[in-house]
């Protein structure tokens, strides 16, 4: 073999190794970093530089999956996977917070923590179900003495307490153990259960895999205690690996309200969402749930697998929805991990945020879901600035002035005018939006676009996180194909030159297509910008992308916000509203 071939081979091996460790920026976990897992940080030394202003965070330490969200007696409950002793994954308990408005949160004692043989090695993710007559029941995964994953239940000690401060784990646990056909080390994350009036049974799903086939097992029960596996899994898919945190719920066709998980009526579709352990991103399908056969069949309008639709095309994982019967809406919670290293997390004393809860509806096309930040978030809006009818020629950018852009909500509607100059869409990119974003970044001149927002930027663009659209045209139909990107590559000067692990920084570009026809030329973009989080909603929530970024200079009062256009076709900002966002009064002070 020639020397150059050997060099290429070595390079390939290095790349393979990098990409297999680098699972979408989410630190590999369930692997305990022993020397760091109990390295506690005192509150005085927690680093505030990149902490968020209005996102859900405990005052310090590691968080991951949102667990068991629900509303009970008018109080919202959020549990989450939490390490009370350090800023990396480990020592996991179900931390518990309560809120009256989904904005201000009060921390309570952890609700569930390892203490019995059936969860002594871990209290992992799960869901809550409001069982009429019984009150809320939590189903969660316990890791046993011999490291098997089993499903347990927990109930409140006092149903008259709307805060549900104390939880009991009855001794008749577990409710479900893996049988001989199931994989006891890949068997977890029970869903909210739903009730089938016709046969008087509750049902719930548990995520799993068999070799590389992703599986959602279904169990049914009359009394919520004795659970029996149904004949076949509700759904499986080859080559998708372990299905973590499945979520299964109905959505209404036509109505702008959410549905209870047990709803069984006409004009609905079902959604099955799974979190893919292999890549650390999620996908969902829309389909039909046959309640007699207990089988789910995707519609087939989008792929059932790696290229499937995503709730969020960015840093978003282990998500879970719940039905909020106080406002008739379904709300989605998702977790965004850090993109920096475990060493950095330990140094800063915290890791992970829960993203702003989003309402979930079926799009009028029936082919996808749409997401929108819950209306309550608007109560945090402070000073407002606007921009109207601002034409942006190629290469121009305009600053949004008069606010502090490190912590804002910005909502802009662009008009692209004519599509005549749009680049022709190459069909080979149809399943590869990310490749397209990497190839054609925010600075690569196009026909229609790239245009959008430049967030968390220094005035000279040494650091910036662009969120933008690029409009292509289908060569035969002339229909637009819209790409949306959120690009962390230029977000920070950090990690560019460093070689040791504290300096390394994952700075990905994230991408998705946006299904719009642009008949009126308009496309909207809303971004919730919060120091190290940029959550962006394209075309009123048809495509959502979250990025985590760590600017060194574009911080605090030195962060800037621009609208820009690098396409030869001028675009117009028809309207732009930006609001400073206030901090909630209460954000989990005193979390243990
Ligand atoms: N996190 C939990 C598991 C789940 C994973 C453990 C998903 O139950 O599968 O912290 O992030």
Q: Which tens digits make up the pLDDT trace of 420-431?
A: 999 999 988 888
Q: What is the pLDDT of residue 373?
A: 98
- Same domain for 506 and 364: no
Check pLDDT > 60 for residue 299: yes
Q: What is the pLDDT of residue 57?
A: 97
Q: 76 C-alpha vs ligand 1 centroid, how far in Å?
A: 22
CATH of the domain at 308: 2.115.10.20
- Ligand 1 pocket: which of 216, 318, 337 to mutate (most atoms <8 Å of CB)? 318
Q: What is the pLDDT of residues 360-375, one digit of tens each?
A: 999 999 999 999 999 9
- Same domain for 529 and 451: yes
- Ligand 1 pocket: which of 189, 209, 243 to mutate (most atoms <8 Å of CB)? 189
Q: 64 C-alpha vs ligand 1 centroid, how far in Å?
A: 8
- Rounded to whole angstroms, how far apart are CA atoms 523 and 563? 14
User: Residue 371 burial by CB count (10 A; 0-12/13-18/19+): exposed, middle or buried?
Assistant: buried
**Chosen domain end from 324, 353, 373:** 373
**34 phi and psi angles, rounded to 5 deg:** -50, -50
CATH of the domain at 526: 2.60.120.560
- Same domain for 538 and 392: yes
Q: What is the pLDDT of residue 261?
A: 98
270 lines ligand 1 (CB under 6 A): no
- Rounded to whole angstroms, how far apart are CA atoms 583 and 53? 5
- Rounded to whole angstroms, how far apart are CA atoms 37 and 487? 31
Please report whether residue 278 resides in a domain. yes
- Same domain for 279 and 303: yes
**Chosen domain end from 373, 393, 420:** 373
Q: What is the pLDDT of residue 5?
A: 41
Please report whether residue 592 resides in a domain. no
- Residue 573 tokens, joined: 């900002």
- Same domain for 395 and 367: no
Residue whose CA is at the smallest distance from ligand 1 atom 6 = 124
**Chosen domain end from 323, 342, 373:** 373
Range of the domain at 440: 381-587
Atom of ligand 1 nearest to the CA of 89: 10
pTM for the structure as a whole: 0.94
- Same domain for 286 and 216: yes
Across 38-47, 247-256, 517-526, least confident range:
38-47
- Rounded to whole angstroms, how far apart are CA atoms 19 and 166? 43
Rounded (to 5) percent helix, strand, coil in the chain: 10, 45, 45
- Same domain for 411 and 306: no
Q: Hey, is 520 helix, strand or coil?
A: coil
Residue 43 CB partners (closer than 8 Å, separation 6+): 59, 60
Check pLDDT > 80 for residue 290: yes
Q: What is the pLDDT of residue 91?
A: 95
CA-wise closest residue to 262 among 285, 283, 289 = 289
CA-wise closest residue to 526 among 538, 543, 514, 515 = 538
Q: How far is CA 152 from the centre of its chain?
A: 25
Cβ(153)–Cβ(204) under 8 Å? no
Residue whose CA is at the smallest distance from ligand 1 atom 9 = 244
Atom of ligand 1 nearest to the CA of 126: 8
Q: 202 C-alpha vs ligand 1 centroid, how far in Å?
A: 24
Residue 400 vs residue 340, higher pLDDT: 400
Cβ(319)–Cβ(335) under 8 Å? yes
282 lines ligand 1 (CB under 6 A): no
Q: 30 C-alpha vs ligand 1 centroid, how far in Å?
A: 8
3 confidence band (pLDDT: 50, 70, 90): very low
- Same domain for 389 and 260: no
CA-wise closest residue to 592 among 102, 126, 91 = 91
Residue whose CA is at the smallest distance from ligand 1 atom 10 = 124
Catalytic positions, written as ranges: 65
Please report whether residue 36 resides in a domain. yes
User: Residue 478 burial by CB count (10 A; 0-12/13-18/19+): exposed, middle or buried?
Assistant: exposed
- Same domain for 391 and 301: no
Whole-number mean pLDDT of the chain? 93
The total number of structural domains in the chain stands at 2
């Amino acid at each position: 073999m020639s020397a150059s071939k050997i060099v290429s081979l070595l390079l390939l091996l290095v790349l393979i190794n990098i990409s297999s460790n680098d699972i979408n920026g989410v630190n590999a976990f369930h692997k305990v970093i022993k020397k760091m897992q109990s390295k506690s940080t005192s509150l005085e030394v927690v680093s505030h530089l990149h902490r968020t202003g209005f996102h859900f965070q405990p005052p310090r330490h590691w968080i991951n999956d949102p667990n068991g969200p629900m509303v009970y007696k008018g109080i919202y409950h959020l549990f989450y996977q939490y390490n009370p002793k350090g800023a990396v994954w480990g020592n996991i308990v179900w931390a518990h917070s309560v809120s009256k408005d989904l904005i201000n949160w009060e921390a309570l004692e952890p609700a569930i923590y390892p203490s019995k043989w059936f969860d002594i090695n871990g209290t992992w993710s799960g869901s809550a179900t409001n069982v009429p007559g019984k009150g809320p029941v939590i189903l969660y995964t316990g890791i046993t003495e011999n490291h098997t994953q089993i499903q347990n239940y927990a109930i409140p000690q006092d149903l008259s307490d709307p805060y549900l401060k104390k939880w009991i784990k009855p001794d008749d646990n577990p409710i479900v153990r893996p049988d001989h056909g199931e994989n006891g080390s890949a068997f977890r994350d029970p869903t909210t259960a739903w009730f089938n009036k016709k046969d008087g049974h509750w049902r719930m799903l548990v995520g799993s895999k068999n070799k590389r086939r992703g599986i959602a097992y279904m169990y049914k029960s009359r009394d919520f205690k004795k659970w029996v596996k149904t004949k076949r899994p509700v759904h499986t898919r080859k080559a998708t690996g372990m299905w973590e945190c499945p979520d299964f719920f109905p959505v209404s066709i036509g109505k702008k309200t959410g549905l209870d998980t047990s709803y069984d009526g006409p004009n609905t579709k079902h959604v099955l969402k799974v979190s893919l352990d292999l890549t650390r991103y999620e996908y969902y399908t829309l389909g039909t749930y046959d309640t007699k056969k207990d089988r789910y069949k995707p519609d087939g309008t989008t792929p059932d697998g790696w290229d499937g639709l995503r709730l969020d095309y960015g840093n978003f994982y282990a998500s879970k929805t719940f039905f909020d019967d106080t406002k008739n809406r379904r709300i989605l919670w998702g977790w965004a991990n850090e993109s920096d290293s475990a060493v950095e997390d330990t140094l800063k004393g915290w890791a992970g945020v829960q993203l702003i809860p989003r309402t979930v509806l079926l799009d009028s096309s029936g082919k996808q879901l749409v997401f929108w930040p819950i209306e309550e978030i608007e109560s945090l809006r402070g000073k407002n600035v606007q921009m109207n009818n601002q034409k942006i020629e190629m290469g121009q950018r305009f600053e949004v002035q008069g606010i502090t852009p490190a912590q804002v909500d910005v909502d802009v509607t662009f008009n692209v005018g004519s599509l005549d100059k749009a680049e022709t869409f190459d069909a080979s990119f149809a399943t590869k939006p990310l490749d397209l974003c990497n190839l054609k970044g925010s600075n690569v001149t196009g026909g229609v676009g790239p245009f959008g927002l430049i967030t968390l930027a220094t005035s000279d663009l040494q650091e910036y996180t662009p969120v933008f659209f690029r409009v292509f045209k289908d060569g035969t139909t002339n229909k637009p194909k819209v790409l949306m990107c959120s690009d962390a590559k230029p977000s920070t000067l950090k990690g560019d030159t460093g070689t040791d692990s504290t300096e390394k920084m994952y700075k990905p570009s994230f991408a998705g297509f946006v299904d719009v026809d642009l008949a009126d030329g308009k496309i909207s973009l809303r971004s919730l910008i919060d120091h190290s989080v940029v959550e962006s909603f394209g075309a009123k929530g048809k495509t959502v992308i979250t990025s985590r970024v760590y600017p060194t200079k574009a911080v605090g009062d030195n962060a800037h916000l621009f609208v820009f256009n690098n396409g030869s076709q001028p675009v117009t900002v028809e309207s732009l509203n930006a609001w400073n966002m206030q901090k909630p009064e209460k954000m989990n002070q005193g979390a243990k």
